Every structure is written in C-alpha cells, then in structure tokens.
Structure 1
C-alpha cells in the first residue's frame, strides 16, 4: 500500500499527464480522468496533506455541520468557516431582494477583474453580516437546500417519514458488524434539483474487520486540488469518530472517484505542490470522555505533530 499522501500526489501527476481537457458547468475548464481509487491506512497517521497546509479546523467544523443535520451556513460562519459561502451568496445575488452591483458570473469575474473583485468582496461581507445577524435573511438565503446533513440525518420517505441514516448505520455497526449494508447515501434524486450543489460525495459504506472500522466513499466528482484533500480528511475523521463510538480502531479510508479533475486555473498550484517533499503525517486525538459522535464539538479534537508546507491559494470554481 502506498503512503497516504503519495497516493494523492500520484493522482495529481496522472491527471496532469493523461487527463482529458473538458468543459464544465463553471466555465473554467478542467483536465479530467474517470475512475480512480486511493487507499489510506488510518493506523499510519491522520491523512491530512503535508505538501500544503490544509486547515483541519475547517474540515472538522464542516463535518460537525453535516453530523448535526444542518444545512444553513450560519453555523459555519459562526465558526469562521467560509467554504460554502459562494453557493448561498449566489442565491441572494440573483434574487429580487438584491440591489447591489451586478454579480453575474462572480466566480470567474472576481479572478479576472480587480475592480470587480473589490465590489464582490464588499458584497460578500454584507451578505455574511446579514446571515449572522438577521434571522429572517439567514433562513431565506443561508440555507442550501437538502444537502448532505439533511440526507444523512433526515431522509424523507415517500410516506413522509424520516430516516436518520447516520444514527441507523452506527447502531447497525454495533449490533451486526459483519453486515454488508452499512451504507449512507447523500444522493436523493428527488431532492437534487433543490440543492445548492448536488452531492459530490454521494455514498459511503462501512466495513468491520478484526476490530477495525473501514470506510469507502464513492465520490461522483472531485476537485482534486481544493476539494479532495478536504474530503479525505473529513471522512477519515468521520471514520475515526464512529470507530470510537463503536469501540473499534480506525482501519482504512478508501476513496473511489468518478470524475477526478484539476481545474485549468489550478495547474500551476498543483505543480508547485508536486515539487515539495513529504513530511510525517500528524496524529489525531479525540476526547475520550465523549462517546457519541452527536456530542462532539471542535474543542474535542486535537491534531498533534502537523508540520505542513505553507498553504497554496487557488480560486474556487462556483
């Protein structure tokens, strides 16, 4: 088995060398391959990249947001997490309530026009302030629809009932560890049209072997430079938390990607990262006094020995 980070870096190299140039919904363009799998041994260390700094606090607060079943970005903003802002912001700037400068195609324009970028940043700050301080505004424009947390914790059935998939899968792991049905799905075809962003990480499955809990995620679409490092760390953390609750050790995290792509405006950043040397993986420490994953807060996680290379900034494609 390759070291955790080496597997990721080899994926980056493969896409740069063999990826097909494709257009995409954002208008940015990508280099893409279809079908790729990486395996991460969680016994070797926590798989947070060392060739660039990945903010663990943002990974953890987003995962807690999912676990809570929340779909409103207010919780994220309260924890200084801005990774979902653009999708909520877009809903506001296309509405009749918005009266500021034209924000059409703000994702690309903010990268290409310094004057527009200043306007965009000003409007984003107004938006964030309203989300944090105006309950009615937050309800209307902060909610992203039936995204991950909703599907994990409150999947609606055709009869109007609710399924807490996450709670059920934990109970199933505890009662019947050898089952082949330890599955949580975020891909609900009925709800996809009402989501700000249809789930990229669509389905995950747990597997118990010799006292260890492993997880495999199928991800339909992976932004390899910005998104995939977060996804790896997030599901490694989720696996570790569920293993803790179930009295198991973390095993492997396996990531299976559908469309794995590098955006055309991330190529130079990827090359810079590939030129860096690997450093030792950090170790994850979890508050042992808490048992249920539904009780954890940010203060209950500690990442020890994380000494990465500096972060590498890149624009997000919306």
Structure 2
C-alpha cells in the first residue's frame, strides 16, 4: 500500500473542511468553526518522511518537547517550557474555567493533564498503574495483549486539569518485530494543533520502537472532530493557495542516550532530539490560538 505524502493528506482535509464543513459555535471558546466528523491521516514511519508541512513554516522542536513532557507526566507550564514547549502557558493561565477552579495550585499549574494521568492511572480500590512502563516492558518482551494502550482519557479526573486531552489514546500493536500505532484524537484544531499532533504521532511510534528494539512500521491518526476556527478562515485560504514543497527529506533523529523510561524521567532538555531536512517552506502564518 502506497501512502500519500502526509502534507498532501493534511491539505486535502483542510480543503474539505473549508468547502464542506458544518458551521457551529464552539462553546468553550465562543468562536464559530467549520468542522467535519471522522478523518484519518496515515503515516509511513518506516520509510518517511517525518510529517512536517511546507505551505507554512511550522515548529518541529516544540511538538517533540511537548510529547516528551507528556511522557514525563509534567503538570506545570513552566516545566513544559523548560523542555522547549511553551504552549501550555495559555491553558494554565488564560482559561477562565481553570482560573476559577479551586484545585488550581497557582500560576502555571496545569493540573492532572495527559501524561500525569497516564503515568499514574488510578486503580479502583487503590493503587496506580504506570501505563508507559507497562507497555515498554511488554513490547520489550515481545508481548502484545491487544491492549497495549496509553490513554490520557479519564472522565473522573477532568475537573483536576486545565484541559481535557485532545490526542487522548495511543494503541500500539506488535506483529513479530514490527510495531504499529493507532492514535485517536477527539478534537483537531486543523490550523494549529493537527500540525503538532501529526508529528507527535510519528514520534510516538518511532521512539517507542527505539525504546523496545522493534521496527516502526505505520501509524494512523484518527480524528473525530476536525475543525477550523472562523478567525482562521482567511489565513487558511492563504495557506491553501500555496504550492506544497515535497522535496524535503525530513527525518527524525532520536537521542541515543535516552534508552529507557528512567532516562525519559531524568531528561532536562530535548537537545538530542532533532528533525533534519526541513529546509524548504513558505513563510510562517501566525494563526490565532483559541484558548
């Protein structure tokens, strides 16, 4: 099966949202959106390319830093920023409902979000499960119980965090020494967030394969609500008018010294993780962020 270049998949769905999206008001942000239900992007992690986009310059460091922050179980926006992902400041300090939440510990606190849940998933009756450790250990031993799932989704804990997870579940699957990933996302901000989430899905599979000495094969990101905010429409049309540059030979370089969950927990920066070959792109577009 030949996989279409990830940017072409991304742009095709963006065009579909703009032309055929259902218009509705997003209650959290108070901004109208155009949305489509049920879209999937397929990533050939084995052969590449790493899923950057060329129709606008987009970050490559911060998506990796943010995902490593999830793997570490971070709960504070400043700690994410120290790794190289400053995006959590807005959710920590500008979301009205979170600012009014009595469990918020103060400036930059994000509460129980993403990896903080997955690394300490509550067990009924007491105790916790470290889902990341469980899956790394299983795959290393060539075990696949058809439930090798890291999930950040816990409705009983939503009131303890600044934001419900968007990319909420990573389902790894092993066939022989080949590792696959099916990732699930409830809400996809196509202009900003999806560009990050595609990179993170690729990163999750390639890095997990490295940690467990397996071969990364194919990852698929399934998105339920794919949307573009009304204050992004004009800028998205500008981006869609640009010709994609598909000659970039983008590759992910993993830090060879980060070989275990303990190494991830001890990580202080992401300098050893790099994306190479991202050399040709159109100018950046500053999309407004809907917090």
TM-score, length-scaled by structure 1 = 0.81
Q: 1:267 & 1:294 partners in 2: Cα distance?
A: 44
Q: Does structure 1 residue 3 correspond to structure 2 residue 5? A: yes
Q: Does structure 1 residue 180 correspond to structure 2 residue 146? A: yes
Name whichever of 150-159 and 280-289 sits farther off. Answer: 280-289
What is the aligned partner in structure 2 of residue 22 from structure 1?
A: 24
Q: CA deviation at 1:245?
A: 1.1
What is the aligned partner in structure 2 of residue 305 from structure 1?
A: 277
Q: Does structure 1 residue 207 correspond to structure 2 residue 173? A: yes
- Superposed counterparts of 1:233-312, under 5 Å: 233-276=199-242, 277-279=244-246, 280-296=248-264, 297-307=269-279, 308-312=281-285
Q: Count residues in correspondence.
A: 277
- Superposed counterparts of 1:28-177, under 5 Å: 28-42=31-45, 43-79=47-83, 81-90=85-94, 94=99, 139-177=105-143
Q: 2:289 & 2:262 partners in 1: Cα distance?
A: 30
- Closer, same or farther: CA 19–281 of 1 in aligned 2, 3 Å: farther
Q: CA deviation at 1:290?
A: 3.4
Q: 1:191 & 1:273 partners in 2: Cα distance?
A: 38
Q: CA deviation at 1:201?
A: 1.3
Gaps of 5+ in 2: none
- Closer, same or farther: CA 94–201 of 1 in aligned 2, 3 Å: closer
Q: Secondary structure at the match of 1:70?
A: coil
Q: 2:236 & 2:224 partners in 1: Cα distance?
A: 20
Q: 2:176 & 2:122 partners in 1: Cα distance?
A: 35
Q: 2:194 & 2:202 partners in 1: Cα distance?
A: 12
Q: Is the 8 A contact 2:61 2:274 kept in 1?
A: no
Question: Could you say which structure has the higher helix fraction?
Answer: 1
Q: Secondary structure at the match of 1:303?
A: strand
Q: Is the 8 A contact 1:152 1:165 kept in 2?
A: yes
What is the aligned partner in structure 2 of residue 134 from structure 1?
A: none
Q: Give per-residue Cα distances to partners, 1:82-134, cap 9 Å, x unaligned.
A: 211112113699569xxxxxxxxxxxxxxxxxxxxxxxxxxxxxxxxxxxxxx
Q: Give per-residue Cα distances to partners, 1:33-71, cap 9 Å, x unaligned.
A: 111111011122211222222211111211121111111
What is the aligned partner in structure 2 of residue 132 from structure 1?
A: none
Q: 2:143 & 2:5 partners in 1: Cα distance?
A: 28
- Closer, same or farther: CA 79–184 of 1 in aligned 2, 3 Å: closer
Instruction: Please identify the structure whose Cα radius of gyration is greater.
Output: 1
Q: CA deviation at 1:22?
A: 0.8
Q: CA deviation at 1:210?
A: 5.2
Q: 1:95 & 1:256 partners in 2: Cα distance?
A: 33
Gaps of 5+ in 1: 97-137
